[in-house]
Amino acid sequence: MANGYIAVIDSGIGGLTVLKSLVKEFPNENFIYYGDNKNAPYGNYSAFTVRRLTLKILTELFCYDIKFVVIACNTISLCAADLVRGVYKTFCVYPPAELLETKKEYTALLATLSTCDHYKHYKYIRPFPLKYLAGDIERNIFCLDHIDITSHIKKIPKKYKNVILGCTHYGFVENDISIHLKPPKTLNGTKALIAAIKKDRKISINSKNISKNQVIFIGENSKYNFEVWKKVVIN
Ligand code: DGL
């Protein structure tokens, strides 16, 4: 399936921040984007509900020739990646927590409730669950200056030298988070995701431009996600 699509999925618009990096990194590939905006945000649901919604996303993908799937959503990666892996070759975005735990660097993890639940037992990583930020971004994507970061997170203690943006939606307000928290270093999971794709010898990444670098938007929210892509992400 050398010419199939790379499918990028998320609960809503968050995965578009990952899609932007993927398009840049793999310019000879074609992409499909599916965002489940109607049911976003996923981060406050139980794992059971996230899994049920992920099964629905999978049925949408069945109609297309898929080369591999990128789960551009930390919440889905942590709750339901096994379901996607059962059908497609799959790459996931995760908060790069292990790396910083190994380096013994105190790190604040900003993420959804669901994602934060998975990172309770680390010594150097402290989860800061932001219950409403992804939803706020989802609603205000065309007027991001309406979002008041200080209402979502107070200051964090000085010992945290790194801040992980553990939700792909947060990429849209990365600047505001940096201005508010002034962390020495901000990280997300996209770099490791791209490294994992490049390292995998079982998939072939096109080195020649076989067809145009196409991004198609599928599902009931396709028009909306295309608008966000055009007006906010790549403009
Ligand atoms: N963008 C998703 C993530 O990375 C989820 C946000 C949400 O739907 O709560 O976790």
Reply yes or no on domain 5-94+190-233 having CATH 3.40.50.1860. Answer: yes
Q: Write the pLDDT tens digit of every residue in 10-35.
A: 999 999 999 999 999 999 999 999 99
Q: Are 69 and 90 in contact (CB under 8 A)?
A: yes
Residue 235 binned pLDDT confidence (cut-offs 50, 70, 90): confident
For 45-66, what is the mean pLDDT?
97
Distance, CA 22 to ligand 1 centroid (Å)?
18
Task: Indicate if 116 belongs to the active site.
Answer: no
Q: Beta 90-92 vs 162-165: how paired, if at all?
A: unpaired
Task: Indicate if 73 belongs to the active site.
Answer: yes
Name the residue with the closest Cα to ligand 1, atom 8: 41
CA atoms within 13 A on the CB side of 183: 24
The per-residue pLDDT for 211 is 67
Distance, CA 141 to ligand 1 centroid (Å)?
14
Ligand 1 interacting residues, C-beta cut-off 6 A: 10-12, 14, 40-43, 73-75, 112, 115, 134, 167-169
Ligand 1 nearest atom to the CA of residue 43, by list position: 9
Share of the chain above pLDDT 70, in %: 98
Distance, CA 195 to ligand 1 centroid (Å)?
21
For 183-187, what is the mean pLDDT?
90
Which is catalytic among the residues 73, 79, 92, 116?
A: 73
Q: CATH topology for 97-187?
A: Rossmann fold (3.40.50)
Residue 176 binned pLDDT confidence (cut-offs 50, 70, 90): very high
- Give the residue range(s) of CATH 3.40.50.1860 domains in the chain: 5-94+190-233, 97-187
Which is catalytic among the residues 79, 92, 116, 167?
A: 167
Residue 1 binned pLDDT confidence (cut-offs 50, 70, 90): very low
**pLDDT above 70 for 61:** yes
Q: What is the pTM of this model?
A: 0.96
Distance, CA 199 to ligand 1 centroid (Å)?
26
The closest alpha carbon to 97, from 27, 164, 4, 186, belongs to 164
Best residue among 45, 54, 112 to mutate for probing ligand 1's pocket (most ligand atoms within 8 Å of CB) is 112
* Sign of the alpha-carbon dihedral angle for 45, 83, 92, 61: negative
Best residue among 17, 42, 57, 193 to mutate for probing ligand 1's pocket (most ligand atoms within 8 Å of CB) is 42
**pLDDT above 70 for 89:** yes
**pLDDT above 80 for 156:** yes
Best residue among 73, 130, 141, 193 to mutate for probing ligand 1's pocket (most ligand atoms within 8 Å of CB) is 73
Distance, CA 2 to ligand 1 centroid (Å)?
29
Residues ≥6 apart with Cβ < 8 Å to 124: 100, 101, 104, 105, 106, 107
